[in-house]
Structure 1
Amino acid sequence: MKQPPAKNRVPPTDPATGVNVDQQTETDQLDNLLELQRRILESIASGLESVTILNQLCQLIEAIVPHSLASVMLLNPESGLLRVASSPSFPPQALPYFDGIKPGETMGSCGNAALSGKPVFIDNVPGDVRWDGLREAADMFQIGSCWSFPILSVQLEVRGTFAITSLEGRTPDAFQTRLLETASWLAGITLRNEERKERLLQWSTAVENSSEGMMITDARGNILDVNSAFCVITGYTAQETRGCNPRILRSGRHDESFYQAMWNELKQTGHWQGEIWNRRKDGEVYPEWLSISQIADDAGEIQNYVAVFTDISSIKESERQLFHLAHHDPLTRLPNRLLLNARLEHLIDQARRNIHSIALMFLDLDRFKNINDSLGHALGDQLLIEVAQRLNGRIRQQDTLARLGGDEFVVILDQPGGTSEIANLAQVLIDALDQPFSLGGKEAFITTSIGISLYPDDAIEREALLRNADIAMYRAKEEGRHRYAFYTPSMTRHVQERHTLESQLRRALEREEFELFYQPQVEANSGCIVGSEALLRWRHPQRGLISPEQFIPILEETGLIEDVGRWVLEHACIQTVTWQQTGLPGIRMAVNLSRGQISSTCLGQQLPQILQHTRMDPTRLELEITEHNFMQRPDTAIDVLHGLRELGVMLAIDGFGTGYSSLAKLKQLPVNCLKINRSLVRDISVDSEDEAICRAVVALGHSLNIKVIAEGVENESQAGFLRTIGCDELQGFLFSRPLSAKDFTQLLQAMKAEKTD
């Protein structure tokens, strides 16, 4: 390796004095050190790249120390290896031997300095074992000496080394040692400055690419700079904002007290954050989450304010949507129970302060479940949507229509006027649903029952007001549906009694409180008993016999009817078989099926078991389904009845003539009997229309080879007319009231005795 030429060299010896001019005075040495520092620090301040500065540092050192090669190696923190960062005068072919060495005791001056963190001065490389790991390179390039000084971080961690290499064996003097120390210090400053620049660049990139708007102002609040997100969010360019006051963003939504409180907190804590409404350049007002911080100098004087903000318009919109979803019914988009409760509480507070009234209407669609089951849930949902639209179109803008769920709706009327106005609106809502609904190409009809409670007359609390309207709605249903009812205190007593009955009904079956009564069915012309209808009675331990009208609806609503229905079937069959086994005349036993039994799949499984268990002749069992229940789900009913008919039992349509059965559907039914409804029989002597209907039913039944029986026959005039038109069998008080099993047995015994005589 050739000795590099000395730079800025002074003539080595003055011939006149013999003084070596390389031996500078202390003043000259100090000047060199100061000049070295000045030039390197100036390069750092000018923003030159670290590689350029390190190369400059090496070249300046080589100029000060003749016949030397300066180099900088940096320690890679991840690999732990020393990499050559600067060696401007080293021959290129030498670099591969030194680049990537691992600090160690035999890895030369730099390897030892990096390992120990202390200066390592080797003046005789060929004879020093500390170069054994690099012996090939040392011999090849004739390295005589190498002085290395560690480059340390502020935390005194080794960052690398600064080294002076020579072909001669040399020991550094005091100045050269100080020069090495200064060079390593300047190299450290260069590296730290480069790191700061990288961090600043990272921060600058992060700020510029941040989705959050950022703004810095001077102490007076004038804008110095903004980032790109600020421009995107506000619509202002950076040039438009510089020198302006942030007041250009004010929306006008906050009064001065808001801003005064903000500045007070800033002064007290140095920080403020919160939600604020600002205005974009185009005038749009938007919400943002803003954070403002003070920046003070070492003396504590405020120099700048930094504001960071996020446009939370989308968050606000999401919150609005979530609020809407949480407070509105997803199907009808009406307020749900949660929002209804909040509005009702608010209106009650207003009414209490301003002394005015509120009306609450509780609407329940009549027999909606039947429509939902027959048309399917999709069309059922569509029906609810159209119901909501019709109702909403009939109330005032200040009123509220809400859906509680299922087929229940509530209307809040604020300052509704008198009871006549409330009643008129209730009727308007009822009438609004009377027109048919077109669903999937089919017409559907629905009615509603409405209960009404008033504030403050009926209740002064939200829950009580809702409860009383609900109670009144059930009274409207009990009175026939398709009507409204105002709440009265007596309704609460009725509901309480009903709840008491319900709880007692749930234990009545296991306590054996039910019993069957039997009403005879007679052959119209002969008067002979040919059948009986099993009628359920409840013998309450304290109240005695309870009317079926009181407890049958409760059984149906609670679902208890299925268990009780099975009990009725089983005991009716047992009684029929008992009469046969005792030699009494064999008669037919009619048993009513409830709506729940018809729609349940259990009946098809239970009936064969009951017939087998009781040894009942299936031809002696006649199952009755009301025309109304049949028309609720005709297709399902047809399938169920065909399955029952295959078991050999007889089938009857009860209450025929009131449910608007289609002849097409009737022809599909495997029925053996039509029962004329008692409401038609009652008025046949005074109502020509009822008379005509009875004639038509008998004619229809006979044309289809179906037996016809009339129920509710109470006098001979009715019986005579029915015989005249050819009715096959009669049933009613004219012949007998419903009898206990014991009394009916005596009736059969008497009939048997008459035949014997």
Structure 2
Amino acid sequence: MNPDYNVVTVEALITAYDPILVLLSILIAILSSFSAFGMVERNISSHQSSQKIAWNLFAASVMAAGIWAMSFIGMLALKPAMPANYDVPTIILSVLPVICVCSIVLWLITQQTFNYFRLLAAGLLLGSAISLMHYINIAAIRSNSVIVHDTGLVYLASFIAVALAIVALKIQYQVIQQSQYKFITKKQIVSAVVMGLAFSGMYYTAMTALQFIPQTTDKVINGLSANTLALIVTVMILLLMLPVIIIPYSLRYKQLINTVNEDTERLHAMMNTSQDALIQMNAKGDIVGWSAQAQNVFGWTNKQAVGQALANLIIPIPLRAAHKKGLEHFMATGEGPILNKIIEVEALHQDGHNLPIELTISFIKLADGFEFNALVRDISQRKQAQKALIIANEKLAFQNKEIDKRANELTLAASVFTHALEGIVITDAKNRVIDVNKKFTDITGYSREEVIGQAPGFFQADRHPPEFYNAMWQIINTTGQWAGEILSLCKNGEKYVAGITISAVKDDVGKVSHYVALFSDITLQRDHQCQLEEMAHFDALTKLPNRALFADRLNQAMRQCQRHHNSLAVIFMDLDNFKDINDTYGHAIGDELLIIVSGRMSGTLREVDTLARIGGDEFVAVLSDLVNTEDYKMALKRLLLAASKPITVGDVVLKVSVSMGVVIYPQDDADADILIRHADQAMYIAKKAGKNCYHLFDNALDNAVNLKQENISRIGAGLNKHEFVLYYQPKVNMSTGEVVGVEALIRWQHPVRGLMPPLDFLPLIENHAISLEIGEWVIDTALNQISYWQSIGITLPISVNISAYQLQQTDFVERLATLLAAHSDVSPYFLELEILETSAFSDINYIIATMKACLELGVQFALDDFGTGYSSLTYLRRLPANLIKIDQSFIRDMLTDADDLAIVLAVVSLAKAFQLEVIAEGVETVEHGTALLQLGCNKAQGYGIARPMPASDIPTWLSSWQPYQAWLP
């Protein structure tokens, strides 16, 4: 390059570009690419070769025209310092190679075999064509200057064109090959923009590579001026681009509309012919789509359904809340547990009945929200078929089970027939034997051949009368079965008892075809049963009926009395003095005595009467069919006489008598058990009356006994409920004023009657087991009280009253020792036991032994109410008592009754003689105490000293006690 020339570079010309024309050139490049690519897609959618060629050429021409227009307008955007014109033929010629290349490139990207090699080739062709067009257009410039090119920038421009062309073609190929046809996509726009940038990028890079060298010449520049050419090109390009853009995309839009319409029609056709109903619902839960099959399933027409709330139309009331909750959950979270799943649910028909449906719900995201599609299939027939199939399967299973059962039954029957432990006989309808099993032969001794064809009667004994067999067959023919016992004969002539069951077998029409008899030899069982019955109903010693058999016969006799309107007598008998004989001579002699006496008494009774032994020496009899109630008296006299006759057993002559209690039914209209109890009560009265006699039961006596029993039960309940308390009455030495002890006196804190003294309840439990419990409670409570008083500094002995019944218990000493051991902190010396003088001599030897054993434990004894029992002085001397208590009945009147005074003086003297202490009860005045002191009795207790008081009052009384001055020395 000559440095003397005036060179104008592109950098200097940039400032001379028209920016509007630059932007217009780039826009035309993009629009032409967008239009050309749209026509290529029309090529894909065309089915005729001529149409494909036409669209290809049309697209190539549009793209080439766009490139040419972009290039030319870019040159027009230059405002060079010197004027320049353009050679029109050269410019027109520049577009022809581009059209050819674009046609080839656009054809390549429509082929299925388009690959990366072809993509590279197409990019190179298109980039080369763009470069060629550019340099042809440069050659069309007519100006007074020399144009020089920068080689590096030329290559760069070509590379930009090729690279961006490849990218644009790759994107457009992906758009063409997509399966879903769309009107305008992002990739379509991107591919057009990239292609437009390839054109303009190449051009403006190439323009940068140009250098203009001005020349001084008078040569006239030919060609069209830039302004004229710019106007022509712009108008042509706009006229060309407008239909080019509109036509393909109008066709594209029309095709898209047609496709949508076809898809819609196809969808409607599928919906209306499908077995499934399609229901569309918006986000509010309103129906927006309702297929013809939906009308068939639910009964609502499309017109009735669309616009209605889905829940109100087809969802049963119990499920609507769940539907609403599920819709709200989806709208809030975008999730639903049943979406895109096949479920079975109940739906509501227009007529109000529920039907089972199969339901699949999906959703579509729309611009304005969600739309739900529900595919519904009525599965009523399927459910019915399933139900029918289940029933059929059950029937088939049942039939198979029955078949197996019948087969097993047949197999079992054959096995049972052969191996049964019972004999089996099968006869025909005429009662002729057709088969027997092996056990039959084992029992009877007859072989199968010997009995086939015979009537079963030939091996039966003649014990049963014809009426028995007639009744048996009548039952078999009426009920189909009979069970019982038949005396039969073995082949050897021996008899045996057969326990047999005979059944009638009927055919399909209900007619008897066979009889089956199952039997076994129960001879040994019957003999054993008879023995057991005898043991169960008869006394083993006397062979008389026992209590159980007597109760049965008594009940029978009572029913007979009701039928015949007569009377019966129940007699309860107890042998007098039998215990003494049994103890003296032993049980063998006693048993022999019972056998003889029972035999004699039984012999005095009639056959209709019953005598039974119910235990020990107790008997009970029932005299039936008494027309006159006085008839029983003669029987009683015979019984008394029979029992009282002397009995010789070996070398011993024995004599007993009997005490009897009698009750007459129905004068005493009670049940059997109560009649026996009443007779028992009357017997005890006979005993008390002197024995060897009878006593007729008295209802008043029974009422008294019942009342006593009720009172005893109430006393026992009171003991369990802690209703009993001990009161304590002090005992003092009058001459010194010293408190020498207290006497424990029981009281009953009755919930209704209040505080009750001992005389109101103790006599009711005399000689009863409950008196032993109360007696032990008194001792235990007294020991507790002694312990407590000792803990607070009070040391007082306590005396408690002991009944003879308690003292005579064989375990009294042992139980007393247990109570004392339980209170080891209390000295036994502080416990004094008081026994009545009269009870002490009921069994003097036993009482003395018991008292001595108790004394060894450390306790003291006192004789209470002394003077009322006329005790023998010998016995008094032997009793190991420490103290005598003078009964208050003598103290009360001693000041006015000389006899009572004499008795008191005698008791005091007797106590001194036997070196016993003495204490007087019932001291109520100072005068009583003074008189007793004069007689030599220093100790006393009574109201004049202190009334009985609760244990809590004793400490207070002790602190306030002051003896009378008249008593002190």
Normalised-by-shorter TM-score class: 0.3 to 0.5
- Name the structure where helix makes up a greater proportion of residues: 2
Provide TM-score, normalisation by structure 2: 0.39
Provide TM-score, normalisation by structure 1: 0.48
Considering only CA atoms, is the larger Rg found in Structure 1 or Structure 2?
2
